[in-house]
Amino acid sequence: MKVKDKTVVVTGGGNGIGRELVLNLLDRGARVAAVDLNEAALNETVSLAGGNAGRLSVHILNITDFKAVAKLPEEVIAIHGSVDGLINNAGIIQPFVRLKDLNFEVAEKVMDVNFFGTLYMVKAFLAHLRNRPEAHIVNVSSMGGFLPVPGQCVYGASKAAVKMLTEGLYAGLMGTAIRVSIVFPGAIATEITRNSGVEAPGSGSADAGSSKFNPMPPADAAKEIIEGIEKDKVRILVGKDSRFLNILYRISPGYATRFISRQMKSLLPE
């Protein structure tokens, strides 16, 4: 789906990849509804949009609140007139600890944001997207959704759930005007650790994995994602590390698991 003159909803639009998706979409002539829990971050996105801000609306929303999410489509349509695309980008990670040390409250929060937040958004917008001549749903999983990362067991499970949800959605929407894409970012230079309220051991407030992999700037990641959308790609692998490990894991899951475990060992306390 070409994004020019389309209305696209982006979750996590206040920072990182989400903010860059918003700005890139606006630069390409789209109308955008940016969704985030952080009002100050959304206001900064508006400021960065500059002359494109007239095509941008912001929506302060907790995507784990099912009732609030259910009201969002009508709010967006009241402003922009229609909805053509949905990018479920918002997500959090867990503390870098072994499963035995992860409490259930944290595990439930990770699943609520990453999986159920995505599910709520898809369910809320699906009927509206079905009424469009063409539409696109994009769910952001993770490299950790197909490859186990030490200290991120539940995070990986949540992103694997997003992967299977998206693939099932793709199968169910075959023959309709709705395209579906699943995104697998590798190491991206965002503040996901800080925004998730956790800290990666040995890396201060830096993004998870940045000490071991050369992280991609979020603007470059957003560009790859939107180019994938415009080419109607089903799978969008973002970054050389994601593409490399995707191939390696398909060839030898055991070797790939041992490889990533060695690379990320320093992030997990003994």
Catalytic positions, please? Answer: 155
Question: What is the sign of the dihedral through the CA atoms of 150, 151, 154 and 159?
Answer: negative
Eight-class DSSP state of 97: -
Q: Cα–Cα distance between 80 and 67 in angstroms, integer? A: 21
Which residue from 81, 36, 29, 26 is spatially nearest to 56, judged by alpha carbons? Answer: 26
Count of beta carbons in the 10 Å neighbourhood of residue 82:
14
Phi-psi region of 82 (alpha: psi -120 to 50; beta: other; left: phi over 0): beta
Q: Measured at the alpha carbon of residue 20, what is the angle toward residues 141 and 48, in degrees to the nearest 5?
A: 150
Q: DSSP 3-state assignment of 185?
A: strand
Q: Cα–Cα distance between 94 and 188 in angstroms, integer? A: 16
Q: Cα–Cα distance between 258 and 244 in angstroms, integer? A: 15
